[in-house]
Chain A
Amino acid sequence: MFYANLAMSGLVQGLLLATLALSVSLCFSVAKFTNAATGDFMTVGAYVVVAIQAVTGGSLMLGVLGSCIVTALISLLAYWLLFRHLAHVSPIMSLVASVGLALFLRSVLSLFAGHEQYAIDYPIARAINFHGFLIVPIDLWVALASVALLALVFAVLYLTPIGLQVRALADNRDLARAAGIRSRGVMIVLWSLIGIVSAVGGTIIGIKTVVIPDIGWNLLLPGFAAAILGGLGNPLGAVIAAILLGICQELSTPMVGFVYKTIFSFAVLIAVLIWKPEGLFGRVEQVR
């Protein structure tokens, strides 16, 4: 039961990273750069929930909906004002610009909200005990929200005409354009999705932790690791990799201790990439 509880802890850890990894992977799949502002989009999402809860008297549902709208708008604005202009130059330029955007978003949040911590209001409850196996109610909700979010993203990608266009652009940009697919419309859908995923991810992380300007940034590296492990540009791979990394990390604690568990997960990442450079679910041509 001890290891089952550790695995449960790892699953929760993985789900927290999964939304971030999904957002990173979505961006890379079509826009072809690693968005370092992903964590800060999530931070914005968490702050919007806090603000809406303060105004509405604590409605989490309204907070999440409002956060999805605001964060999607900010994500679209980032594309329109910044990344759109860098689409035809080296992806490194977009990466550097995203680092600048991350710093800008954090500074704006710090200026207006300060550095003190805020909390997302939700009913805190004791774990349900099944013969020693503990299930914390909020973790169930986190899992449900993550699954619902993944279902939404994959429904858009695989069940809608615009999703088909997104995948076509991700697969072969030139061929997609030759087939008449207009990248601007696809990009609007993509950046909206990135905003929504970030908003929900920020809410989940805000619920599990505290809302401070650095929460998203602090998780960016593990999120990147999961996206890379899953095969950059493969959203489903990113989610599975995040969960695997989370479970590996927590199950390693009896051997390596709690201080070095993060290092262990990065060691797993390195080992897998040596064995399979394209990531667990990546395709060889994606890393050429």
Chain B
Amino acid sequence: MKNQGDVSRRAVLAGIGSTALLTGLSGRAQAAGNVFRIGAPNTITGAAGVFGTGVQNTIIEMAKRLNAAGGAGGHTFEVFAEDTQTLPEPALLAARKLIEVNEVKALLGVYSSPEALAIIPASNAADVVLMHTGAAPKLAADNTEGLGFQFYPSSQSIGFVLNQIVTKEGYERPVTLTLTNDASIGNSTSFHKYWAEQTGSEPEDIRYQPNQPNYRSELQQALLANPDVIILNGYEPDATIIMKQLYELGNTARVIAPEFAVTTRLIEALGPELVEDTIVYRFVPNSDSAAYTLFDEVYQAAMDAPGSANTYAAIAYDEMNLVALALELDPAISTGAELADAIHKVCGPDGEPCNSFAEGKELIAGGATVLNYLGASGPCDFDDQGRTPGNFGVSEVKSGEYVFAYGIVFED
């Protein structure tokens, strides 16, 4: 099984090279027609570095392909790539540079809640569309200009899913271990809300800081509550340390964690015994769709790996298609607000269905004014706050492999 975002150094270097190449080509294209500038501030390094290169290369590959096909609505695409280091401050600096120096009209592939929360005030002020995979509740509240599009299910839906898993498995004494960032706190808070509504009790919540070499005190406190299940809301590096130290301290409670925390690399590092029976939930892309097949081909070309290696790249693929379809629908777009409005028109559930930019272009040429783009990552149906629903898959780790158990659909 290949890990999500498991990329080689060659792929990283290829990505850097192709960014420069595309910029050069676009420079020549600029003289021939309108250029639509896209910013790609992605997690090339840092905690989510395993995903960022695939996301960025997908955006670049899509821009190349769209340009080769004649562009969208008379526009060709120019991509400006930056590394956010998976940290909010560098992400904001990168976004500011992209907005103020490169004059991009949309920021694509922004990964985490802290990064998106840092960027959204700047993108709102500059009238720039922001497409991200953050989950923090504040992202919807901060989407005051309607320029934000949240492709990853919200913390509310993750809390719902966690409550469904705990209830379905019959656990009665959950404890949450929560990394101190907006998304993780949002996920735990949402779970606590659902759990309290259902049982009237409040589980113990232990919050921990990132980049600590030792979590023994935190885990000791968690184990004092005698939990029968531990919900871990964090990321791969801290999850690896915590899973190891939980085992060392004699934990027998089952652990529930997201797939970006309990990764195949974590399992390899700790060995199957330590991770056996861990429950892993993940955002499930629309892998049976025609769009996913097309994405898979793009990802193979960009990264020399199957699309299943990186769910976030499927999202980036959809982001590029939506921007292109919006420009095809309204070639006169000149502001971020107009772009956001057009994006809503090409992905609403009431439009004519299409699975790709090429299909959508044909429909628009045939007179369609509202489309329903069905993406590789999901239905891409955004509400007024820029949120889209998502489906989740729940797996169990058995002998070092994920074994799919059941799916959960969010119902508010």
Contact = CB atoms under 8 A, between A and B. Distances in A.
Given A111-B9, A117-B265, A212-B237, A5 B220 contact: yes
Contact of A117 (B7, B207, B236): B236
B206 to A, nearest CB: 7
A119 interface: yes
Most buried by B among A9, A13, A219, A250: A9
Contacts of A5: 216, 220
Contact of B269 (A208, A210, A257, A261): A210
Interface in A111-129: 111-112, 114-119, 124-127, 129
Interface in A249-281: 250, 253, 257-259, 261-262
A209 B247 contact: no
Contact of B250 (A6, A126, A212, A213): A126
Contacts of A8: 216
B23 to A, nearest CB: 22
B217 A9 contact: yes
A12 interface: yes
Contacts of B12: 114
A171 interface: no
Contacts of A213: 45
Given A114-B12, A127-B250, A258 B208 contact: yes
A208 B241 contact: yes
Most buried by B among A115, A208, A213, A214: A115
Interface in B1-55: 6-9, 12, 44-46, 49-50
A127 B241 CA distance: 15
B45 A110 contact: yes
A116 B216 CA distance: 24
A138 interface: yes
Contact of A219 (B213, B220, B248): B213
A143 interface: no
A209 B241 contact: yes
Given A124-B244, A210-B240, A261-B217, 15 more contacts: A5-B220, A12-B214, A112-B9, A114-B9, A115-B44, A115-B45, A115-B49, A116-B265, A117-B265, A119-B240, A119-B270, A124-B271, A208-B241, A209-B241, A258-B207
A12 B247 CA distance: 17
10 closest cross-chain pairs (CB), A and B? A115-B49, A119-B269, A9-B216, A218-B211, A136-B248, A9-B217, A13-B214, A16-B213, A210-B240, A250-B217
Contact of B213 (A10, A117, A205): A205
Given A214-B211, A258-B217, A117 B248 contact: no
A90 to B, nearest CB: 29
Contacts of B270: 119, 124
Nearest to B271: A124
A124 to B, nearest CB: 6
Nearest to A246: B214
A126 B12 CA distance: 39
A134 interface: yes
A55 B91 CA distance: 37
Nearest to A251: B217
Contacts of A13: 213-214
Task: State which size class the interface on B falls in.
Answer: 35 or more
B50 A127 contact: no
B126 interface: no
B218 interface: yes
Contacts of A262: 209
B248 A126 contact: yes
Contacts of A16: 213-214
Chain B contact residues: over half helix, strand or loop, or mixed? helix
Nearest to A125: B248
Interface of A: 2, 5-6, 8-10, 12-13, 16, 110-112, 114-119, 124-127, 129, 134, 136, 138, 205, 208-210, 212-214, 218-219, 250, 253, 257-259, 261-262
Contacts of A129: 250
Contacts of B274: 124
Nearest to A10: B217
A12 B76 CA distance: 57
Nearest to A218: B211
B253 to A, nearest CB: 14
Most buried by A among B12, B216, B274: B216
Contacts of A136: 216, 245, 248-249
B289 interface: no
B221 interface: yes
Contacts of A214: 46, 211
Contacts of B189: none
A116 B6 CA distance: 8
Interface in B182-225: 206-209, 211, 213-214, 216-218, 220-221, 224
Contacts of B388: none
A218 B214 CA distance: 13
B164 interface: no
B74 to A, nearest CB: 39
B180 interface: yes
A93 B268 CA distance: 43
Most buried by A among B7, B245, B274: B245
Contacts of B250: 126-127, 129, 134
A258 B218 contact: yes
Nearest to B216: A9
A37 B44 CA distance: 23
A221 to B, nearest CB: 10
Nearest to A110: B45
A114 B46 CA distance: 10
Contacts of A9: 214, 216-217, 220
